[in-house]
Structure 1
């Protein structure tokens, strides 16, 4: 169930490995590897994640010197009006669709257009129990 005004995309992934040193889980998805806070799921286990549009930034070049760990390359396939001064951008990353909600000003400044190659940037801390493992047996943290 979508929260009101809370657009996003759902990706089916599999646990690739756990990074014990940093308390992270690396998930394999069609869009690329996605790092989330450590899950209690075995390697190979299916995990469904929800990426909220408001948690996705768009870069026109692969970012360097950035704290966000999830950088997915893709192509803009849709630009839709959002609520207020926002637009929703659909980015196709190797068959998977990621949605980004940005301001009209950012769209204008970056000159974003259909067919453009971009990078979807998602902070690892955007993923929590509400967006990770929906409907699947993933242990609760704590």
Structure 2
């Protein structure tokens, strides 16, 4: 296999971000396992839709029924703000960043229904906290 035509993407599936205060974000893993995709293509040829399709296939999810939110935390961002991957250009930047600094940034994958549930629970927690402060 020609390794110049192979991209490895390590990802955590099903976790979520939480605000730790002071503008800092933290990724919370859903399980103690990291998954790996091996894309037999070049950085220039890999597409966002291909990665989403491969993640869905690996996780045995229907790619048409479920949407995914892809993100990562850039190594140089000390506040741990997530960088969202929404298209081919974002994906290419993520892959190139991983290869250039050999950081092995883990791709964070959130199923959108889980994202909505997480946002709702954080909103409830904020409202309860605000009620306590009054």
Please indicate the TM-score interval, normalised by the length of the shorter structure: under 0.3
What is the TM-score when the length of structure 2 is the normalising length? 0.27
More strand by share: 1
What is the TM-score when the length of structure 1 is the normalising length? 0.26
More helix by share: 2
Q: Which has the larger radius of gyration?
A: 2
